[in-house]
Structure 1
Amino acid sequence: MSLTILPLNENHLDQVWLIEKQAHSHPWSNKMIRDVNSRGACHHVLVEGEQILGYFYAQNIVGEVTLLNIAVNPMYQGKGYGRKLIDAFIEMCESLGAESAWLEVRESNAKAFDLYESMGFNEVDRRRNYYPTTNGKEDAIIMSYIFF
């Protein structure tokens, strides 16, 4: 079967919610996952057949696109699917005529930081003590990608 990136729809939400709970130490709420019609929403899933392998949630506000959430099912991590999702995110931004793309990543998530950096994102700032951890807080690294 081939991999496909599709716009997220209501039929995907149960699988997305399961992945969200498995993939993140501090997952979004089920309500947030199911809010697919928020302002500027452009959410997508990576599917193989009927199986969702991963997803991203993004928001496009006046040419500035923010990657709000991204995850790959832990059973499929390490196979390049995160890179495919970021590729799709960047392509989507280009097709929307975006001027810039933004994201933030936990400072402890070195794999994600390295992936984003390898895809052309640059660290521009930090939100100190932003994310909760099991024993305190950690910084959010803010990264941007500028389209020319």
Structure 2
Amino acid sequence: MKSNIKLVPLAGEHLKQVQQIEKQAHSHPWSESLIADINSRGAFHHVMIVDEQVVGYFYAQNIVGEVTLLNIAVNPSCQGSGYGKWLLESFIDLCSANRAESIWLEVRQSNNRAINLYNDAGFNEVDRRVDYYPSANGKEDAIIMSYIIF
């Protein structure tokens, strides 16, 4: 992993790179209109920049100290290099610095790499939404996870 990494608020100039990563990284990517909605209620969206290129991003919503991680991804060509861990840890640090009390997310049950990353970071499974996500074989559960900040 390179040492010249920075986390900056998502801006319009990042959208094209974010859309490209979104399409490559997710089996069911967000629409371009969702990606472009950078000023949504409680917007807490950031990009990870390496060598002036967007390598990863997260979309989150901060509503009265409860943060929901809506979307997170690292360019597939950069996965396995520690960028996901750096991005998630930076996200948690940013939530703490903004006095959030908790973080919530949901993840596809088949996304073992993400589940392991979240578990390693201190998230706990709290519930499931049965048959929530579309999948190649029908539907799959969403695992709801939380992280308490004190």
* TM-score normalised per structure 1: 0.98
Stretch deviating more after TM superposition (102-111 or 1-10): 1-10
> Residue 7 of structure 1 corresponds to which residue in structure 2?
9
Residue 133 of structure 1 aligns with an amino acid whose one-letter code is: S
> Residue 34 of structure 1 corresponds to which residue in structure 2?
36
- Post-superposition Cα deviations, 1:5-63, rounded to whole Å, max 9, x if no partner, equal 11110000000000000000000000000000000001011111221110000000111
> Residue 128 of structure 1 corresponds to which residue in structure 2?
130
- Work out the CA distance in 1 between the residues paired with 2:116 and 2:142: 14
- Structure 2: runs of 5 or more not aligned: none
* TM-score normalised per structure 2: 0.97
- Work out the CA distance in 1 between the residues paired with 2:137 and 2:50: 37
Partner of 1:52, secondary structure, is strand
- Post-superposition Cα deviations, 1:53-102, rounded to whole Å, max 9, x if no partner, equal 10000000111000000000010000011111111110111011111000
- Work out the CA distance in 1 between the residues paired with 2:51 and 2:11: 15
Aligned residues: 148
- Work out the CA distance in 2 between the residues paired with 1:128 and 1:54: 28
Partner of 1:78, secondary structure, is coil
- Work out the CA distance in 1 between the residues paired with 2:26 and 2:52: 22
- Work out the CA distance in 2 between the residues paired with 1:136 and 1:56: 27
Residue 34 of structure 1 aligns with an amino acid whose one-letter code is: A
How much is the aligned-residue C-alpha RMSD, in angstroms?
0.8
Give the percent of matched residue pairs that are identical in Structure 1 and Structure 2: 65
Q: Select which of 107, 112, 115 maps to 2:114.
A: 112
> Residue 23 of structure 2 corresponds to which residue in structure 1?
21
- Work out the CA distance in 1 between the residues paired with 2:20 and 2:7: 19
- Work out the CA distance in 2 between the residues paired with 1:50 and 1:94: 26
Partner of 1:128, secondary structure, is strand
- Work out the CA distance in 2 between the residues paired with 1:52 and 1:98: 26
Q: Does residue 71 of the first structure (1) align with residue 91 of the second (2)? A: no
- Structure 1: runs of 5 or more not aligned: none
Q: Select which of 53, 56, 69 maps to 1:51.
A: 53
